[in-house]
Amino acid sequence: MMQPTRVIDFVDAVAVYNDYPALAGVTFSVDRQEIVLLQGPNGAGKTTLLRACAGLIPVVRGSAHVLGVDIAIDRESIRERVGLLGHQNGLFAELTIAENVDFWSTVVGATRAERDAAMQRMSIDGKLANRRVSELSAGQKRRCALACLVVRRAEIWLLDEPHAGLDAKGRDEIDLILKEAASAGATIVVASHEVERAQQLASRTVSLVAGHVRGVS
Amino acid sequence: MTMSVSRIAQAVAVKDLRIELRSRIVTNQVLPFSGLVMVMFAFALDSDDVLQGVAGGLVWLATIFSLFILVQRSFAIEVSDGALDSLRVAGVNPQGIFLGKSISLFVQLIALEVVLLLTAVVLYRVSLGGAGLVLLVTCVVSATAGLAFVGTLYGGLTAGARGRETLLPLLLLPVVAPVLISATRATEAAFTSNGVTVSEGWPWVAVLAVFAAVFGLGGLLSFGSLIEE
């Protein structure tokens, strides 16, 4: 069966966060295997848009489809197919990288081969894999979190400030990983303040201001 | 691929217990805290007759105080780096998360209660016969199951709330009152304290079993909605 080209399609979507209309009528779309940058000042609605795409925040008005599913009606069925990496990594500090990835593999039903492939894709070798997350650098933690995302076989990667807290080498590593993921079939939406760097990565930039799309370039 | 509830529960329980074994919160903080509660009451009451009479109540009071710490800890590891959010986004079956966290809490509470009961036997010189032991084991298992289920349910409810450290005991204490009362009565019967016979303890165990069943079922059905935004 042909996969639909448009994987995210929001038309005049409104989402409320903490009694505030963080998305005040957003029209926004993303095609399969695209890398799209969301940019805008703090409070523009970037994080809310990512969380709405992940089905975490309800869209209360307008229409919103992710992977062909109307998420205004059904937010839960897309969750297995979408991966969100926010400001936090979603890791367990007392566990090693391998144990974190193993945990995710088990709860999502990934095979041993998929788990090994995810670790390899993030350049996590034997020695690094056995280090506890609490002992890792910010870049290594990000790589571990991305390995957990890969093991989940997410079709859409929603990344909130993926470069935050990383040194130049760590940022380059993340960019490389994202390019490889897009080549391998993932669709990626990145919210970032690092516009220049992210623009080199993205095919399109969507500017958000006060919950509205102010431009697409 | 959708994973079975039991597989997810096993993964969550193993993960939680592994984290506790490494962080040693139970052995280094919870156990000394509950031990202190038992010892301080021994000094404060300073009478074997009184202590034997209240031994059951003190064991369960110390257990419930410790439950607050264990539940806080159980959900702190999920929210500190956004893991609970990630589990929700990944569409991991919340029933599996609920069961897994309940199992982990159950194991930790059982370990704690064994130490507290042994402390009561040594410190308060309570006696325990064969029939009393059977009653006590049944009481401990059913009371602990109830505490683990209700603790996980309320831990999930308050996980994302501001001031959750103080909110949790405030919400949880009235709800666990039936466990405190029933388990205390059943333990008194097991110890044959205050002239109570062992057979008088069994109706209280039935109350504990009903409590565990209600909160186990309620948790399975509602945990997913509770951890939603």
Looking at domain A33-58+68-216, what is its CATH homologous superfamily? P-loop containing nucleotide triphosphate hydrolases (3.40.50.300)
The domains of chain A are located at 33-58+68-216
Which of A92, A151, A153 to mutate to probe the B interface, most B CBs <10 Å? A92
Q: What is the pLDDT, as a whole number, of residue B5?
A: 92
Return the structure tokens found at B168: 């949790």
Helix (H, G, I), strand (E, B) or coil at A23: strand
Rounded Cα–Cα distance for residues B191 and B179 (Å): 18
* B15, B81, B90 member nearest A152 (Cβ): B90
The domains of chain B are located at 5-226
CB atoms within 10 A of CB B88: 22
For B114-127, write each residue's pLDDT tens digit. Answer: 999 998 888 888 88
From A77's Cα to the closest Cα of chain B, the distance in A is: 8
Interface of B with A (CB under 8 A): 1-3, 7-8, 10-12, 15, 18-19, 22-23, 77, 80-83, 85-92, 96, 229
* A77, A88, A108 member nearest B82 (Cβ): A88
Q: How many CB pairs under 8 A join A and B?
A: 84
Return the structure tokens found at A130: 């056995």
Rounded Cα–Cα distance for residues A203 and A73 (Å): 30
For B165-219, write each residue's pLDDT tens digit. Answer: 888 999 999 999 999 999 999 999 998 887 888 899 999 999 999 999 999 999 9
Residues of chain B positioned with their CB less than 8 A from the CB of A91: 81, 83
pLDDT at A2 over 70: no
- Interface touch B229/A56, C-beta < 8 Å: yes
What is the rounded average pLDDT for all residues in chain B? 91
* B1, B8, B81 member nearest A93 (Cβ): B81
Phi, psi dihedral angles at B77 (to 5 degrees): -70, -20
- Interface touch B3/A88, C-beta < 8 Å: no
* A82, A86, A107 member nearest B85 (Cβ): A86
Phi, psi dihedral angles at A161 (to 5 degrees): 50, 60
A6-17 and A59-66 strand pairing = antiparallel
From A148's Cα to the closest Cα of chain B, the distance in A is: 10
Where is pLDDT greater, at A213 or A102?
A102
Q: What is the pLDDT, as a whole number, of residue A76?
A: 83
> Helix (H) and strand (E) counts for chain B?
9, 0
Which of B1, B17, B86 to mutate to probe the A interface, most A CBs <10 Å? B86
Report ipTM (2 d.p.). 0.86
- Interface touch B89/A79, C-beta < 8 Å: yes
Contact A210, A41 (CB under 8 A): no
Rounded Cα–Cα distance for residues B15 and B86 (Å): 15
Average pLDDT on A117-144 reads: 89
Residues comprising chain B, all counted: 229
- For A88-115, letters b (16+ CB in 10 Å) and e give bbbbbbbbbbbbbbbbbbbbbbbeeebb
- Interface touch B82/A54, C-beta < 8 Å: no
